[in-house]
Structure 1
C-alpha cells in the first residue's frame, strides 16, 4: 500500500494529480514540439510510470487535465484585467495587455504547443469554446463603442493580439508590441 502524504486519501490524490499536471506543463514548456510520455512525467514527480497510470490512463488524458487546469486560469487572468478597466476602450486594451503578458510569462506557448502536438477533436473543440468565451467581453465593448460589426472586429482584434504575441515571443519586448497594437486599434476605440 503506498504511503499517503495528506490528511485524507482524496487530498493525497488531488495533490498527486496537481503534481503530475505541473510536471506535464513543465515538460511541454521545455520541449514544445512533443508530448511528454507518462514515464517522463512520473520521473519528474518521483512516481513510477505504473503509478502515473493510476491517475491518467494515457497522454491524451493527462493533456486534457493540463488544459482543464490552464484554461480557467487564463480566463480568470483576462477577466480580472478586463474588469479593472473603466470603459469599453480600457477593456479592449486590458484584453490586449493581459494576453501579451500571458505570452511574456510563457503561458501562451502552452496553448500553442497543445494545439500543435495534440490536435485531438476534443482539444480542438474545447479550444474553440475557450476562444469564443474570451472574445465575449471584446464584442460587448465594441458594441458599446458603436462599431458596426463587433463580432468580425473582435476577431480582427484577436488577430492583432496573435501577431503581437509572435513579436513578444521573438524579441521579448512586450511594451513595444503593446504600443504598436494600441496604435493600430486606436481608430476603433474612440467612443
Structure 2
C-alpha cells in the first residue's frame, strides 16, 4: 500500500464528504473521485467508515502538528496561545467553509469520529496547559479550558475574528 495512493483516496473521500456527507457518500463515489475502480479503493481502506475515520485522523493530526509548532515558536506567550487556538479554528473552517457536512468529521458528538475529535481537544488542552505552566501563569489547566471554551464559542457564532481579542482578554497583560 503506497502512502501517496492512500492520500489520494483520503483526498477524494474529503471531496465526496463535503459534497454529499457521510451517509450519502458511497465507495463508488470515492472510487470515481479517485479515478480508480471500487475494488482498487479497498486496497487502501477497509470500507467507507475506515476512510472517514482515517481522513478525520489525518485532519486532526495536521492541526495538532500546527499547534505543536506554535507552542515552541519564538513568540510572546499570548502569540503562542493564539496560534495554538488558530489550529483548532483552521481545522473547523479550513476545507469545510460552506459545507454543511463538516460536523461529521470534526464534531466531538459525531458518530464515527467523535472520539478522534475529543482526543484532539484533550491534546490541545494538555499543550496549552504545558505552555501556560512554562510561562508561570497561575491555574494553567483552568486557563487552558477557558481558552478552548471561548474558541468553541467563537466558532459556533462564526466570530473567529475575535479570537485574538478573546485571547488577550483572558491572559494577563505581562504575557504579551
TM normalised by structure 2 equals 0.77
> Measured at CA, do residues 155 and 78 of structure 1 come closer, stay the same or move farther in structure 2, by a change above 3 Å?
same
Q: Which runs of 5+ in 2 are unaligned?
A: none
- 2:146 aligned residue: 156
Question: Once the two structures are superposed, what CA deviation does each residue of 1:19-54 show, in whole Å capped at 9, x if it has no partner?
Answer: 110001112223446462111101111222232223
| Helix, strand or coil at the partner of 2:43 | coil
Aligned match of 2:95? 106
Which protein is bigger by CA-based radius of gyration?
Answer: 1
The number of residues matched between the two structures is 172
In the alignment, which residue of structure 2 is the partner of 1:119? Answer: 111
Aligned equivalents of 2:92, 2:50: Cα separation in 1: 25
> Does structure 1 residue 78 correspond to structure 2 residue 67?
yes
Residue number in structure 2 paired with 1:4: none
CA RMSD after TM alignment: 3.0
1:37-186 correspondence to structure 2 within 5 Å: 37-106=26-95, 112-115=103-106, 119-120=111-112, 123-168=113-158, 174=160, 176-186=161-171
* 1:154, distance to aligned residue in structure 2 (A): 1.1
Unaligned runs of 5+ in 1: 1-9
In the alignment, the residues of structure 2 paired with residue 156 and residue 30 of structure 1 have an alpha-carbon distance, to the nearest angstrom, of 34
**2:60–2:91: 8 Å Cα contact kept in structure 1?**
no
Residues 104 and 85 (structure 1 numbering): CA distance in 2 closer, same or farther, change over 3 Å?
farther
User: Are the aligned partners of 1:20 and 1:45 in contact in 2 as well (CA < 8 Å)?
Assistant: yes
Moved more, 17-26 or 82-91: 82-91
